[in-house]
Structure formats: structure tokens, C-alpha cells
Amino acid sequence: MTKPIRLAVIGMGKIACDQHLPSIAGTQKFELVATVSRDGKPSVDGVQCVRSIEELADSGIGIDAVSICTPPQVRHDIAQFAIEQGWHTMLEKPPGATLAEVIALRDAAKAAGVTLFATWHSRYAAMVEPARAWLRGREIRRAKITWREDVRVWHPGQEWIWQPGGFGVFDPGINALSIITRILPEPLFVTKSQLFFPGNQAAPIAAEVSMRDRKGVPVEMDLDFRQEGPQHWDIDVETDAGTLSLSHGGAKLSIAGVENRSEENAMEGEYPGLYKRFAALVWASVSDVDVSPLRLVADAFLCGRITMVEDFIE
Amino acid sequence: MTKPIRLAVIGMGKIACDQHLPSIAGTQKFELVATVSRDGKPSVDGVQCVRSIEELADSGIGIDAVSICTPPQVRHDIAQFAIEQGWHTMLEKPPGATLAEVIALRDAAKAAGVTLFATWHSRYAAMVEPARAWLRGREIRRAKITWREDVRVWHPGQEWIWQPGGFGVFDPGINALSIITRILPEPLFVTKSQLFFPGNQAAPIAAEVSMRDRKGVPVEMDLDFRQEGPQHWDIDVETDAGTLSLSHGGAKLSIAGVENRSEENAMEGEYPGLYKRFAALVWASVSDVDVSPLRLVADAFLCGRITMVEDFIE
């Protein structure tokens, strides 16, 4: 049995506590040796907590890898520091606030000989791989992404999401993009984008984005943070063999109206899947940095037409 | 002597007539065999003009390569069609309206075995290579880009520049980015961006962008389309051996206040330089697609804070 990878988790916010810690506790592949939190408050009994990555480096704790769960705006400098220590580095999504900083990290990791894993947790939702497998060889006619959630329910107090580099509604929307870029056979690009900004915020609260692939297959994306009542995280793909519907963010799959309950290719859960993959990357000494979902978001901003809408007050 | 490359120029607007046609006329490496213009009006005596790239393909004219000078918003589909014909393809800057479409073209060209050249004409300004050579080995402390021009003088009637994908003031600003990414040794990324949109336009009229490299060297960029009086296309780089100043868009160089009039490394002119390079790429069967200037623009939009300013009426 290989020795567990000694891991520190950095940025003990909602996603770290809800998802990362339970997944790490559930695997033998990692040993949690430290948490890093600005407030210095321990998150796990018996696991040392420090206030910064510099303090972590000075602490004498033996570290092989870090998992960075901070907001995207501060992720680059922490990751760059980690890479300089020779630590394998896993990044929550999105991997950064800009594309160029992620490319710079990728190059730095390569030069340092450490693993960099830019994660897209939604790609590890149970039915994403079965959807991908079913779509192979089908003629794809069009696709529709509907990602509408109530920001007050799902992002309480996350002020960073409204700041530049927080992406607003594209913070969940990039999850949909990480799925669609995984399941469709051809790369997509943005042809039209409408961005709806609350007058008092620096990031969009809703967006309508038209994409297509080079064969002309249209993909429409409807993102909205103002959704009350039923919430939607759905992708529908029309093919020559009927419509494939991924719902619940990739957890459920139906084909031509029939729910697929097969376990074949199904994943064991998003974050357990991420950590399994991270361990495999570390052991193989390779990186996995796919910027295509972030590139589509950048493109949606680059060619976006902006409309100002009602102020958003949480 | 190698046979000249049979070339068609597509999109006979200002840049094609002012720059491309004279450069093509001045080299033996290319033979202009057709122009493509929606209005069907010939641009060069004795050279056939057609209305579309489809008509060009049907015309029976022997074509080896095309140079695409249309506005960026329509460039992808024309380029994709050209690549499918097996024609080597040169793209005016910016290479597209989005990053992902340029990546798709790069991959399509590779698969088709044709040369794709995403040009950045400002990199061929006379003093860019001397500046790059001088900066090697210097300690770089900071840099400042000042790119202020009167849009009414330099972009008369160019409505596309105000449309999504036209980039507004980043259309000239990307020239500065193409130079700075060439002359500085380390890649840059955006840390802060302010975008000023006229209330009646879909693209910014001014911008203030802060960048840095991974060593922390700051690069500030000041872009403004509202400049009257003296115009500025300047890059100043502070080093341990004094300040290097590139002015006039890269045509003039001074170091520590002394103008460099040396011919060493100087280029023969922007567009002649581009066509010389395109011929060399075609003969070597390789592509040159550097998206880094466009990526920085996309990042400036992605993390940009938007301010609405006075309407712009040409």
C-alpha cells in the first residue's frame, strides 16, 4: 500500500467544510495534516490549523500536497507559493480569476515538476460519464443549458461572488460549462452573449449565451441567480436517437424520456471522485489543467452585451 | 527561386487598402490573384474581385493562401472555410472575436495540414526587436503602457469596433499588448481592470488595466479613445540600467533618454515584415498562433469593473 499523501486544505469556507473535509475523511489516499484559515480556527479535531500558507511552510509540518478552496481572486498567489514549495496543488473551480494566471500556474508547475490539478467537480457528478458515453457516435442537433438557482439560498454571504473575478452567475454557470465541454465531442465557442448586471454589483446576476461548435451545432445557455421556487441545473442534448437530459447538475440522466438507473460508468460522488483523481495524478507525476470552461466564460464577457438591471441586495 | 504564393485578400476595408495591398505589391514572395469584397468592387487593376469566399472557391482561380482583413466578428467562419479548402490562412489582428474560436481554428489548421498565422502587426514595428534584445538580462522594475488616440481620426466609420467582439479601445490596445508580451521576458496577467463604457455603445471607450508577472513586476496600461491633441502610443520600461521608452507604436526607441538610431535588429516595416514571415511559415509548413494578447484582453473584460460614461456619437 502506498503511503497516504500528506495534505493541507487552504481556505475553510463553505465548500471546504461541506465537501472537501468529508471526502478527505472518506479516503485512505490522503492524510489531512493541516488546515489553513485566516481566523486561525481549527476545522477538524486533532488537526493543526495555521493562519496563512507562509505560516504553513514555516510550521515544520510535513506536506506533500495542498487543496486550495479560497475564493478565486486570491487563489493564484497561494498556488504559486505552494508550487514553489514543491507541493502538489489542487485548485477548486474556477482555477483562477483570469485565464492568464492559470496558464502561468500550469507553466510554473511544469517547471517545478509538481502536479497541478484544476478541478471541475461537476464533471464527477454521477451521470456525466454515462452521458458522455451515450453521446459518442450520435448526431448532435442542438443543446440547451438551463442553470437557474436562488443566489440567496446557495451563496449566502459570499460577497466575493459579486466582486470582479467572482463571475456572478457564471460561478455556478461554469459548472454547466465544465459538463458540456466534457460530454460533447466538439469544442464550443461563444457567438453571442447578453450579461445582466445589477446596478450595484460588479458581476452579472443573469446571462444568455449562445455558443456553437465548428459544425454549427447550436448550444444555448440560460443562467439566472434570481430563480425562486423550483431550481434548475439541466442540460438537454437533442440527437438523432432522441433527447438526452442531464438534470440535478449531472446527478440524473434520462434518454428519450426514460430515466437511466444503470450503474455502468456512474461515478461515486463529485468530491470523492476529485480526490481519487488527484491521488492518481500525483502518483503518475502528471498535471490536469483544462481551461476550456473558464475560456468560455472569459469569451462570454469579452463579447458580452451588458444590460443594467435592478440592484441586488442580499 | 521558389514560385510565388498565390494569394487572395479578403475584406477590402481600410487596413487592407492602406497596408496589405502595398506590402503584397512590394514583395516577390506573393502573387495577388484575387480580392474578395461584399460590394464586388475591384481594388487592384487587373486582379479579379469576387463577392464572397464561397464564390472564390467556385471561381476556378488557383489559390494557395488567403489573408483575412475583415472585422473580427466574421473572421472565424471565413477562416474555417479557407482551412477546409486547404488554403494557408493569415489573420489580421485580433485573430477573432473570442479566444475559443481561435483555438478551434488553430486545431482545424493543424488537422488540415495548412499554415495558420495569427498576425500582430505591431510586433513588426521597427524598434520592437531592438527593445526586446536590450531588455534581455536586465532587471525589470515596472512598465507603463499609454495608448491614447482619437477614435474619430483613426477609426472613422468603423461601427464594428463598438459592437460586441469589436473590443472598443482594446482594438488599438491589443497592439500595445502584442508588443509588451513580446519584449518582456515573463508572461503577464491582469490583476485589476476598469472599463469605461459609453451608455450607447457595447464596447469600452477607455480602460485602466493593472497587470503583473509572477515575480510581481507591475505593468499599468492606460487606454483612451477620447484623446485630442497629441496622440500617444508609448511603452516605458524601468530597469536597473535606466528606462527604455518605445514610442510611436514601436517605431522609435530611446534608452535612458538617448534615442537609439541603430539599424541593428530593426525591422523593415510592419506589414512587409508580416508577409515575409507568412511566406516563411508557409514554406516551413508551420503555424504561428500566439493568443496571449487576446487572452489578456479577455481577462481584462472577465475581471473588469464597469463604469458607464458619456454617450459616444461619431
Count: domains in chain A? 2
Asked if residue B238 is part of any domain, the answer here is: yes
From B211's Cα to the closest Cα of chain A, the distance in A is 10
Asked if residue A37 is part of any domain, the answer here is: yes
**Statement to judge: residues B142 and B241 lie in one domain:** yes
| Residue B85, number of CB atoms within 10 A of its CB | 14
Give the domain-ending residue among A73, A98, A118: A118
Q: Chain B contacts of A299, Cβ < 8 Å?
A: 98-100, 298
When CB atoms are compared, the residue of B80, B100, B188 closest to A190 is B100
Asked if residue A292 is part of any domain, the answer here is: no
- pLDDT of res. B266: 66
- pLDDT of res. A214: 87
Q: Chain A contacts of B216, Cβ < 8 Å?
A: none
Q: What is the CATH number of the domain that holds B19?
A: 3.40.50.720
Q: Which three cell numbers stand for residue B144?
A: 507603463
Interchain proximity A299–B80, CB inside 8 Å: no
Q: Chain B contacts of A169, Cβ < 8 Å?
A: none
Strand order in the sheet with B88-91: B48-50, B30-36, B5-10, B65-68, B88-91, B116-118
Query: Under an 8 Å CB criterion, which residues of A touch B?
Result: 76, 80, 97-101, 103-104, 107-108, 164-165, 167, 187-190, 192-193, 197, 202, 214, 292, 295-299, 301-306, 308
pLDDT in tens, A217-242: 999 999 999 999 999 999 999 999 99
Spatial distance between the Cα atoms of A52 and A50, rounded to a whole number of angstroms: 6
**Statement to judge: residues B131 and B107 lie in one domain:** no
Task: Give the number of beta-carbon pairs within 8 Å between A and B.
Answer: 102
- pLDDT of res. A204: 98
pLDDT in tens, A250-268: 999 999 999 987 766 666 7
| Residue of B162, B205, B299 to mutate, interface with A, max A Cβ within 10 Å | B299
Give the domain-ending residue among A65, A99, A118: A118
Half-sphere exposure of B234 (CA within 13 A, CB side): 13
Spatial distance between the Cα atoms of A79 and A81, rounded to a whole number of angstroms: 5
Asked if residue A291 is part of any domain, the answer here is: no
Asked if residue A220 is part of any domain, the answer here is: yes
Q: Chain A contacts of B165, Cβ < 8 Å?
A: 302-303
Spatial distance between the Cα atoms of A277 and A291, rounded to a whole number of angstroms: 17
From B184's Cα to the closest Cα of chain A, the distance in A is 14
For residue B118, give Cα distances in angstroms to A130, B94, B287: 38, 8, 8
Range of the domain at A149: 126-264+298-309
- pLDDT of res. B261: 78
**Statement to judge: residues B254 and B162 lie in one domain:** yes
Helix (H, G, I), strand (E, B) or coil at A7: strand
**Statement to judge: residues B15 and B139 lie in one domain:** no
Interchain proximity B301–A302, CB inside 8 Å: yes
Catalytic residue status for B93: yes
Spatial distance between the Cα atoms of A175 and A249, rounded to a whole number of angstroms: 8
Q: Which three cell numbers stand for residue B27?
A: 514583395
For residue B271, give Cα distances in angstroms to B27, B73, B90, B188, B265: 11, 22, 12, 26, 16
Asked if residue B144 is part of any domain, the answer here is: yes
Which position among B93, B144, B192, B215 bears the catalytic label?
Answer: B93
Q: Are B195 and B297 in contact (CB under 8 A)?
A: no
- pLDDT of res. A88: 98
**Statement to judge: residues A214 and A246 lie in one domain:** yes
When CB atoms are compared, the residue of A100, A188, A189 closest to B295 is A100
When CB atoms are compared, the residue of A164, A214, A308 closest to B303 is A164
Helix (H, G, I), strand (E, B) or coil at A208: strand
Give the domain-ending residue among A118, A152, A184: A118
Interchain proximity A298–B301, CB inside 8 Å: yes
Q: What is the CATH number of the domain that holds A189?
A: 3.30.360.10
Mean predicted confidence (pLDDT) in A74-102: 97
Q: Are A24 and A7 in contact (CB under 8 A)?
A: yes
What would the DSSP string read from start to end of chain B?
-PPPEEEEEE--SHHIIIIIHHHHHT-SSEEEEEEE-TT---SSTTSEEESSHHHHHHS----SEEEE-S-GGGHHHHHHHHHHTT-EEEEPSSS-SSHHHHHHHHHHHHHHT--EEE--GGGGSTTHHHHHHHHTTPPEEEEEEEEE-BHHHHSTT-GGGGSTTT-TTHHHHHHHHHHHHHHSSS-EEEEEEEEEEETT-SS-SEEEEEEEETT--EEEEEEESB--SS-EEEEEEEETTEEEEEEGGGTEEEETTEE----TT--S-HHHHHHHHHHHHHHHT--B---HHHHHHHHHHHTEEEEEE-----
- pLDDT of res. B188: 97
**Statement to judge: residues A148 and A244 lie in one domain:** yes
When CB atoms are compared, the residue of B99, B189, B214 closest to A299 is B99
Backbone angle region of B46, left / alpha / beta, with phi > 0 → left and psi within -120 to 50 → alpha: left
- pLDDT of res. B123: 97
Asked if residue A314 is part of any domain, the answer here is: no
Which position among A14, A29, A93, A110 bears the catalytic label?
Answer: A93
What lies within 8 Å, CB to CB, of B108 at 6+ separation is A214, B80, B83, B84
Q: Which three cell numbers stand for residue A252?
A: 440524473
**Statement to judge: residues A17 and A114 lie in one domain:** yes
When CB atoms are compared, the residue of B101, B164, B299 closest to A304 is B164
Asked if residue B276 is part of any domain, the answer here is: no
**Statement to judge: residues B150 and B259 lie in one domain:** yes
Interchain proximity A303–B97, CB inside 8 Å: yes
- pLDDT of res. A1: 57
Question: Which residues of chain B carry a pLDDT beneath 70?
Answer: 1, 263-267
What lies within 8 Å, CB to CB, of A220 at 6+ separation is A142, A143, A144, A145, A208, A209, A210, A211
- pLDDT of res. A265: 64
Q: Chain A contacts of B193, Cβ < 8 Å?
A: 164
**Statement to judge: residues B89 and B176 lie in one domain:** no
| Residue B225, number of CB atoms within 10 A of its CB | 28
Spatial distance between the Cα atoms of A95 and A110, rounded to a whole number of angstroms: 16
ipTM: 0.94
Spatial distance between the Cα atoms of B101 and B118, rounded to a whole number of angstroms: 12
Mean predicted confidence (pLDDT) in A87-105: 97
Q: Chain A contacts of B171, Cβ < 8 Å?
A: none
Residue indicated by cell numbers 450503474: A263
- pLDDT of res. B46: 93
pTM of the model: 0.95
**Statement to judge: residues A114 and A207 lie in one domain:** no
- Per-residue pLDDT band at A314 (split at 50, 70, 90): confident
**Statement to judge: residues A114 and A178 lie in one domain:** no
Q: Are B143 and B237 in contact (CB under 8 A)?
A: yes
**Statement to judge: residues B304 and B166 lie in one domain:** yes
